[in-house]
A and B are shown apart, each in its own frame.
Chain A
Amino acid sequence: MKTRRLYEQATAGFAALCLLCAAGGPALAQEDAAKGIERYREMMADPFANPGLLYVDQGEVLWKEKAGEKNVSLAEVCDLGKGVGVVAGAFAELPRYFADADKVMDVESRILWCMEKLQGRDVTNVKKKAFSGAGEGGSEMEKLATYVGNASNGMKFALKLEHPKEKQSYAIGEKLFYMKAGPHDFSCQTCHSEDGTRIRLQDLANLTNAAGAIPAVTTWPAYRVSTDSVKTMQHRMSDCYRQMRMPKVGFGSDAVTALITFLVKTSEGGEVNIPALKR
């Protein structure tokens, strides 16, 4: 109830400020808009007003729910790197190498693997519906990822990168970050290698150094006001590739894991804060 009321107040305030943008001069209007968005963020950063918190609770229920042919819960069988069923601190060390799968995995591809291999579930639909649409109230994967991410809040990103496959994943991610391709010649570098730039009015993160990457990378999954839902890091990568005019990249694919490894390592020492609030 409180959430809804604050949300409406904030939206109304935001709309009023936007009217101001149209009335004032360009520079002034943009400054006002930026201030308005900042105020909006402050209001929404109130830990009890972030609608994304609901996903944490729903994710916990899903984590502990028995499912699949083997009728076991993820909590009973899934090792996210810190021991079977342990969620505390796991996210801060992902992606990492898992010997059972002989692969480097991020939080979402690991959860998917546990569902398929350890719970014995058909994951076709989990994959297909991993990114929820407007008004769907979130997908199973979004809720689980938010729950696991939230259990590392306040902890610092610390990837060991000891296993050769972890080192390779990082190196591939770095290559992909700078890979210009497609009809528009875009790479991640095109938009994310300078401080203080934007697309239209959207601020862009400089993902080539810790100072720029930490605020962006430590905060997914995040509640996105523009879509009224929680979006995950897999979604962020996938949607960037869509905007880059590339073909659709596979959910939980090695390319996305590699990029996430590169970005998380670049954000080393950044404090996890999930679910954050974003535009």
Chain B
Amino acid sequence: MTKKLVLAALAVSLCAGVAVAADAVSPDVLQKVIASSWKEPDANNPAGVGPSWSGRLVQDDMQKICSETRNKPSKEQAAAISKAALASVKYPEDGKFLGDWKKGEKIAQEGKGLRYNDKPEDVGGNCYACHQIDPKELSYGTIGPSLKGYGKTLGFDEKAQKTVYEKIYNSHVSVACSNMPRFGTQGILTIENLKDVVALLMSPDSPVNK
């Protein structure tokens, strides 16, 4: 009897020991915390997780791999992510990649869009949050590289324009687990918006290339 009890106690403590020492969080535990922390909307929390919001807490394949690897995917993972990213790109029907750089500048400046306190009509690329673009704008971030003179550096041919379009549509085409949002794939910007931003970077007459 005593022996059995000791064994049982030993088994319990071993199990507890393993759970703690491993320090790992099972997907179930994590999902429970997420479900209890971002709840259904109610009077106190109208922006809570509703039908259109709950999806934001569910990760897709890229998000899962990049979270697990802390944005350092293996070669194979990176190749798969970039392949899927390229497959997601939809191209302009007129075959033209350059829109209006002045409209592109407005999109690059705008930080609103898709937050729970934004309006549905708020659309922004918020490019200056992370990049230097028009050198006259002093308030720019440094999470991404400077894009000053981008078109001058890459060239003004259609091939370069297409590369930039794809990169903004889904940055993981060229850098798997990039920090940059997938503006086209995720529907943050429309194809027209994207062309305007491409023009800001790639038009010879854009201030970026002056």
Contacts and interface: CB of A to CB of B under 8 A. Distances in A.
A233 B86 CA distance: 40
Interface in B165-196: 179, 181-182, 186-188
A168 interface: yes
Contacts of A26: 135, 138
A202 B179 CA distance: 18
Interface of A: 21, 26, 29-30, 124, 127-128, 164, 167-168, 171-172, 175-176, 178-187, 189-191, 194, 196-202, 204, 242-243, 245-250, 253-256, 258
Given A127-B44, A198-B141, A247 B29 contact: no
Contact of B37 (A186, A189, A191, A255): A255
Contact of A167 (B23, B54, B179): B23
Contacts of A197: 141-143
A185 B143 contact: no
Interface in B92-139: 114-117, 128-130, 135, 138-139
B38 A255 contact: yes
A137 B130 CA distance: 33
A114 B192 CA distance: 54
B119 to A, nearest CB: 14
B57 A191 contact: no
A164 to B, nearest CB: 5
Given A183-B181, A184-B186, A245-B56, 12 more contacts: A127-B44, A171-B24, A179-B63, A180-B63, A181-B57, A190-B179, A202-B141, A242-B115, A243-B115, A245-B115, A253-B36, A253-B37
Given A185-B182, A247-B116, A255-B37, A199 B25 contact: no
A222 B30 CA distance: 30
A183 B59 CA distance: 10
